[in-house]
Structure 1
Amino acid sequence: MTVVIKVGGARAVDPAGALSDVASLYEDGEDVVLVHGGSTAVDDTLERLGIEPEYVETPSGVVGRFTDEATMEVFEMVFGHLNTQLVAGLQSLGVDAVGLSGVDGKLLHGPRKSAVRVVEDGTKKIRRGDHSGTIKEVNTDLLWSLLDGNYLPVAAPPMAGDDDGEIIPVNTDADRTAAAIAAALDAKLVLLTDVAGVYEDPDDPETLIETVETGEEWQALEAAAEGFMSRKIMAAREALDGGAPEVVVADANADTPVTDAVNGDGTHMFQEAIEEL
């Protein structure tokens, strides 16, 4: 079984348990790819530098980061630091981990989006100067060469953005990065976050949605997801549409979060649900 694990970048997420669990899977001979986020650390660094983080809303209601040139420089710096720290942590646990950005070997490749459609004060506008992109290709040869060599890839944005034939680093969502990799590898995707899964009532952990196997259940899941969780469900659908057999959203702060997620904890979404839509 190949597993792609995404560790979130929220302040409430402690990656220590996930790294220990990843090391156990690696020792058992599983093919594992770790993907990480870091948007909170980017925001913290921007604020220390006196730069106000900017988020915009798309016409479809999705809120995302607007990444201008200065923000992109901070993004590269912070994600490089986080990647190195996670690789060092895994190596301390006996794992031959290799850190990769999406630019390395064009692991994640697609067009740059320099202009984005946004909604400001109820009015649709075009914002230019964005450094973001859409993943169209995943270099699976690179990933499999590492996995076959008993290395564990630790991957993260930025991606290799094609800007009129020139490759430049651009921002892309970490959940969707993990989804693209899982789809390309036909792997199970585990999205670890700071809650136990998707709740029917976002304020009530007792309303955890455990399984999503039908189109009707998927529609209910989408209706229940709010805020940051809606982005994870978007990523989950992209993974399932692309070939991943299963996606799990689960608690990153459990003692053995990946093992627990694989064994049934969290919210489990299956390809069959997408096929019914």
Structure 2
Amino acid sequence: MKQVFVIKIGGNVIDDPEALNSFLEDFHRIDSPKVLVHGGGKIASRLGDQLGIKSNYVDGRRITDDATIDLVTMVYGGLVNKQVVAQLQSLGCNAIGITGADANLLPAIKRPVKTIDFGWVGDVEAGKIPVNRWQVLLDNDFIPVLAPLTHDGQGHMLNTNADTMAAVIAEALSVQYNVRLLYCFEKKGILEDVNNDASVITHLDRNSYATLRQEGKLFAGILPKLDNAFAAIDAGVKEVLIGHAEDLLQNTTTKTTGTLITA
């Protein structure tokens, strides 16, 4: 099976022009079909402040009201996405900027209201992803650059978690490709001691993850990313790698640094 990399870049890189330039230089050197999923960083909040649109968070998650969905659609799907695409094109990388609404590549539903109404926030319907349309892009040397937006099929855009989007894309593609999902952020990997950057856990499987979680050795903020990783593994993704954005190229090889997650 052909190797495909699904790579998610964190907002901390998006917010740092120098780090972003370096990352995209490395990304364009990956000589395999690839998908880049990006977050929005803090740009939407900054522009929202200028426009009088207040950011509202509950448990670290943005409440997306009518004004905010317009804002993040403009910023994530427009400004950030097209700047990344333009930089990749300047490097000779045939990037195409998309959202989940384009070609209905990521059907989603508006998140049901439970205890909190998150507004125009979407949950991807993983079983409805049209893999054949993704194949058309990848097999014709297009490099999808995906903004963290989906749609509900009723004409509404939805703000959507980029980590989850990367995971479900990797899961869908794993039917036809050998997929490695990479989460690139500001740490060298998953740390056994959050205060010690040298305490990288180089390999995690389901059993070791359960043990570390039971012992309370994992930073709470990393747990959603790990849950996404193991959900992807359970759905057929061969490997998930969580590591530093600066180590991207090495982490597309067999000699990885960071935390490699397998079944």
Q: TM-score, normalised by structure 2?
A: 0.87
Maintained 8 Å contact 2:40/2:148: no
Q: Aligned partners of 1:249, 1:218: CA distance in 2, in Å?
A: 17
Equivalent residue, structure 2, for 1:209: 201
Q: Aligned partners of 1:141, 1:56: CA distance in 2, in Å?
A: 37
Equivalent residue, structure 1, for 2:7: 5
Equivalent residue, structure 2, for 1:56: 58
Post-superposition Cα deviations, 1:19-75, rounded to whole Å, max 9, x if no partner, equal 1122111xx3x1111111114222222222233311113xxxxx4221111111110
Equivalent residue, structure 2, for 1:130: 119
Equivalent residue, structure 1, for 2:249: 259
Match runs of 1:131-210 below 5 Å: 131-136=120-125, 137-162=128-153, 166-186=154-174, 187-210=179-202
1:44 and 2:46 matched: yes
Q: Aligned partners of 2:87, 2:210: CA distance in 1, in Å?
A: 36
CA 1:167–1:178 in 2, change beyond 3 Å: closer, same or farther?
Answer: same
Query: What amino acid is aligned across from residue 41 of structure 1 in structure 2?
Result: I
Maintained 8 Å contact 1:188/1:245: yes
Q: What's the offset of the Cα at 1:232?
A: 1.6
CA 1:157–1:139 in 2, change beyond 3 Å: closer, same or farther?
Answer: farther
> SS of the residue aligned with 2:155?
strand
Query: What amino acid is aligned across from residue 97 of structure 1 in structure 2?
Result: A
Aligned length: 248
Tell me whether 42-51 or 188-197 shows the greater mean CA deviation: 42-51
Q: What's the offset of the Cα at 1:214?
A: 4.2
> SS of the residue aligned with 2:237?
coil
CA 1:39–1:31 in 2, change beyond 3 Å: closer, same or farther?
Answer: same
Match runs of 1:95-114 below 5 Å: 95-113=93-111
CA 1:99–1:220 in 2, change beyond 3 Å: closer, same or farther?
Answer: same
Q: TM-score, normalised by structure 1?
A: 0.83
Name the Cα RMSD after superposition.
2.0
Identical amino acids, percent of aligned pairs: 30
Q: 1:235 aligns with which of 220, 228, 234?
A: 228
Maintained 8 Å contact 1:6/1:178: yes
Maintained 8 Å contact 1:159/1:169: yes
Q: Which runs of 5+ in 1 are unaligned?
A: 58-62, 119-126, 273-277
Equivalent residue, structure 2, for 1:78: 75
Q: Aligned partners of 2:69, 2:114: CA distance in 1, in Å?
A: 16
Q: Aligned partners of 1:47, 1:261: CA distance in 2, in Å?
A: 37
Maintained 8 Å contact 1:114/1:130: no
